[in-house]
Amino acid sequence: MSKISDKVEALARPVVEEEGCKLWSVEYIKEAGTWYLRVYIDKDGGVGIADCEAISRRLDPILDEADPIPESYVFEVGSAGAERELKRPSDFEQFIGSDVEVKLYQSYEGRKTLVGTLEEYNDGNITVSGVELKKEQIAQVKLHVTI
């Protein structure tokens, strides 16, 4: 467990669950010269600002004490969102039958983005509306919401 996001995930999970939410993911990235630590949460019925605020207030002192990040950063807690990225096998299994948007590293039939129904997941390989894709082809998969 050497990655910062893994360390923060271990610290955040109990707090998030005590607040009645599910930890979706932890992201530690640099954007425009600033480091951001983002904790994404989910909850049946949707995440509200009060959920984010409560978790942020409880988790902030825990992070300060554990000090898993050597440099300064901006800390944010937010909803995983309706168009959340699917990363773990459990994410894919949970959303079989849902519409997804798949970004590819190289074009498939002239397109680098496919939108369709997630039909199958097998060890990183997926089937979307009858199209079988190998994990090596896939740059990103996220839920797709049609308005």
**C-alpha to C-alpha distance for 118 and 121, rounded to whole angstroms:** 8
**C-alpha to C-alpha distance for 60 and 72, rounded to whole angstroms:** 13
- If you classify domain 89-143 with CATH, what class do you get? mainly beta
Average pLDDT of the segment spanning 40-64: 96
For 36, the enclosing helix (H) or strand (E) is strand 34-42
Would strands 99-108 and 138-143 be described as parallel, antiparallel, or unpaired? antiparallel
Q: Which residues are paired to 22 by β-bridges? A: 42
Average pLDDT of the segment spanning 97-114: 95
Average pLDDT of the segment spanning 19-32: 95
Confidence band, pLDDT 50/70/90 cuts, at residue 1 = very low
Average pLDDT of the segment spanning 96-111: 95
**C-alpha to C-alpha distance for 139 and 65, rounded to whole angstroms:** 36
| pLDDT score for 2 | 53
Percent of the chain with pLDDT over 70: 99
| pLDDT score for 10 | 96
Confidence band, pLDDT 50/70/90 cuts, at residue 22 = very high
CATH code reported for the domain at 4-79: 3.30.300.70
For the chain, give the mean pLDDT.
Answer: 94
**C-alpha to C-alpha distance for 86 and 101, rounded to whole angstroms:** 10
CATH 3.30.300.70 residue window(s) in the chain? 4-79
Percent of the chain with pLDDT over 90: 94
- For 128-145, how does the pLDDT look when each residue is reduced to its tens digit (9 = 90+)? 999 999 999 999 999 999
CATH 2.30.30.100 residue window(s) in the chain? 89-143
| pLDDT score for 146 | 85
The token pair at 4 is 């910062």
